[in-house]
Each structure stands twice: as structure tokens, then as C-alpha cells.
Chain A
């Protein structure tokens, strides 16, 4: 599995992550999807990403009590926990879906977290289509 490069999709809240650094949004990070709130990321978006070939999905939301829309980050987190329980039955390990709540105005941590998650996924291997 040495040559395996995981395909990672990252949904990132514009209120908490990388808003000072335009470069972060403009193609320097592959497969980064800016959203206006992590609560906007629906279960169907996550499932569609896996269906279309993603090996992992990362959601970046605002830190505790800091959601611009009050509770969007909490809604996203509950969805992720529910999805962990559900997707495991489909052969998609919890390590392939991660949510990180925090504040990172210049977005410098985004590639770091993405690389870290890619390492976890490398150990899990590519996501194979289930029967």
C-alpha cells in the first residue's frame, strides 16, 4: 500500500478557518470546500463524497460556543457521530470521517490536519466499493 495516496475531501467553515489567507481557499489545498458553516454539511454530502471515491472526509468547524449561527458546529458534530455509527456497517471506518472544531484564521493548520488524516487513512487503505 506504499503508493496509495488517499483522496481526502475537506469541508471548511469560512468563519473559523483560513479567512485571513486567501491562498488557503484558492487552489493551494486540493479538494478543500469552503462552507459558510460546518452545520451546512449534510449527511448526504458526506455520503456522496464517499460514493464518488473519497477515501476520507474532514469537516472543520468553529470552536466551542463560537459558531456564527449559534449551534452549527454542534449540529455537524452530532451528525458526524451518528454517521460514524452508521457508516461502520457499510465498511467505512470511523477514522475516515473526522470533525475538528477550532479557530485558525490564517489556515496554517488546515494542511497539517489534512496530512495527519491522510496518514491515518493510509493505514486503513483505499476505500473499496462494498457489495
Chain B
């Protein structure tokens, strides 16, 4: 037991889907469980933070962090795990880029608290109570983690060695990543453990894409019955494939759903949303100003669409 490499799995601002994805390794997880000693996995096993704090520097071989960082407890644990780990893997879209919870960065903390504790129609809060980081009750001090002004991707807070994007990452890439660590076959630090090419290159519908895409009117998936063999963009449906890293196994495309971009930008691109806007502009068929405006006005919440998974790490919102 003592000789096995130690692995910590930790969740922060996450939905639990990333932990679920690790369980979805199915029988492979038995091999993993035999090969490593799991020392922390809050969603599945009962370990205490204190035992991690008592560890030596670098005692943990691999820390798999999923979720973005929005409060002081998450920041503290991320820093503890960084100190105790030889390798930190940012696991899933939230850890890598901020993810869906990162869209909260379009609003201020005050806006969010106002809605959650006052304005939402289902809220009854006549005394306008708000969570306090510290409060004294009967002489005892109770504390809560501090809720930050914004959501951070993990690498804004600690150094990250490898990235594995996805919402959640697919089992084959998870297994590859874990065995690469165990067998010491990792690429240079800083690498993303997924292919560098865009999804369109791998898409089963790529051959149905016309040489020149010309979209004059955008449609949403519920507005038409999408052809299940034809390129989504050729049908006027927004698909993030041109600006998204491949490696997901095209699971959404195979169930007739366009790509949403959970694998983040391709190699060499920092701001996938901005690049998508550039490529989208060239697909819109409109030479007159009015036609261009009409087509573009047909896209609801373009910013939310372009930065669905990457807002905290976008050029305009990044803090580092």
C-alpha cells in the first residue's frame, strides 16, 4: 500500500459530472484502484483535509482538480494540493477555462446575491439575510468560505502541469492521462492531454460540409428538425466545431446536437470565442449592411454562446 503512488481527486465549483466521469471508467477503474492509493476524493470517499495538510511536500503523485475556483475554501485546498503534489491536472472545462459556472463573470457578485437572496420569485427573505463569512452564535464563531467577486480557472490561482478539458472529459482520455502518469509517459509540462486539431477535422459530418458555407438565417435546434447527417453550419445551426479542440469522441454530434465548445480552443489559440466570431463572420452570407444585421440579430446571446465554457479565461476577463 505504502509504495503505490498517491492520487488526490478534488472538486471545487463543479457539478459532480467530472467525478462521475472517473467512475465511468468502468472496469478500468479497478486497474487504477489497484495501481494507486487514493488519498482524497470528497465525492466518493471519506478523507479529511487535515490528513492532506500533514503530508510532506510532493508526497502526492497526482492531484486531479475539477471545477473552477470561486471561494476561499477552494483556493486554500487548491494551494494545499499544489504544494503536496508532484503533478496537478486541471480536469474538465471548469478547471481548465472556468466552465459553465464561469458565465457568472458576466455579472457582479452583488447581482448574483441580489437575485439568489432577494429578487428570485421563489425567495422569501423578509429580513434580507445574506450569508456572512463569519458570525457569532451563543458565543461560538461560525465561519463560511468567502464568496469571491468572480470565478477563476485553476491556473489563475496555482500552477497547473497538465490540462484535460471536456464537460466532462471522456473515459478514454482520462484513462490515457492516468496511465501516462503511472507509466511516466507524459508530454512536456503545460500540455493539454487531448488532440490539438479542431473538432471539424474529426467530425463524421465533415464530408457533408459544402465548399462554401453561406448562412443567411440562423436557426436554433428546437426550431427545425435537424438532418442527422448534414453539417450543422450548413443547416444554419450554430456549431462550435471550427473553434473547438477535438478528442471528445464527437458524442454530441452523434446524437444530432451541435458542438458547444466544452473542449476549449485548439492549440495556439487563447481566446476561442473571439476566433469563433472571426470564422462565423465569414460564414454569414450578407453583403448589404441590413442583411448582415438581420442575420446577426437572429443569434440570441452571442456572448454567452461564444464563451459558454471559457469566459474566465477569455482575453477580456483573464486576470493573469
Query: Could you tell me which A residues sit within 8 Å of B by CB distance?
Result: 42-44, 47-48, 50-51, 71, 74-75, 77-79, 81-83, 85-90, 92, 130-131
Residues of B close to A74: CB separation below 8 A: 286-287, 292
How many residue pairs at the A-B interface have CB separations less than 8 Å? Answer: 73
Contacts of B172 in A (CB 8 A): none
Main secondary structure on A side of the interface with B: helix
Tell me whether A43 and B274 are in contact (CB under 8 A): yes
Residues of chain A within 8 A (CB-CB) of B317 are: 90, 130
Q: Known contacts being A43-B278, A44-B274, A131-B108, is A78 close to B292, with CB within 8 Å?
A: yes
Find the A residue at minimum CB distance from B278.
A43
Given A78-B286, A92-B316, 17 further pairs, Cβ under 8 A: A43-B274, A43-B278, A44-B275, A47-B271, A74-B287, A75-B281, A77-B292, A78-B284, A81-B292, A82-B277, A82-B296, A82-B302, A83-B277, A85-B302, A87-B303, A90-B106, A130-B316
Q: Which residues of chain A are near B292, meaning CB under 8 Å?
A: 74, 77-78, 81
Q: By the criterion CB–CB under 8 Å, are B278 and A42 in contact?
A: yes
B302 contacts which chain A residues (CB < 8 A)? 82, 85-86
Select which of B106, B274, B296, B316 is within 8 A of A81 by beta carbon. Answer: B296
Q: B281-301 toward A: CB 8 Å interface, digit per residue (1/0)?
A: 110101101001100100100
Contact of A71 among B105, B287, B299, B315 (CB under 8 A): B287
In the complex, the chain A residue whose C-beta lies closest to that of B300 is A85
Classify the secondary structure of B's interface with A: helix
B-side interface residues, number (CB < 8 Å): 30
For chain B, residues 243 to 278, give those with C-beta under 8 angstroms from any C-beta of chain A.
271, 273-275, 277-278
Distance in angstroms between the alpha carbons of A82 and B182 in the assembled complex: 46
**B72-112 contacts to A (CB < 8 Å):** 105-106, 108-109
Q: Is the CB of B303 within 8 A of A89?
A: yes
B303–A85 contact, CB under 8 A? yes
A43→B275 contact, CB < 8 A:
yes
A contact residues around B200 at 8 Å (CB): none
Residue of A nearest to B287 (CB): A74
Q: Does B157 contact A (CB under 8 A)?
A: no
A123 to B296, CA, bound (A): 27
Question: Could you pull out 20 A-B pairs where Cβ atoms are within 8 angstroms?
Answer: A42-B274, A43-B275, A44-B271, A44-B274, A44-B315, A47-B274, A47-B315, A51-B315, A75-B281, A77-B289, A78-B281, A78-B296, A79-B277, A81-B293, A82-B277, A82-B302, A85-B296, A86-B302, A87-B303, A131-B108
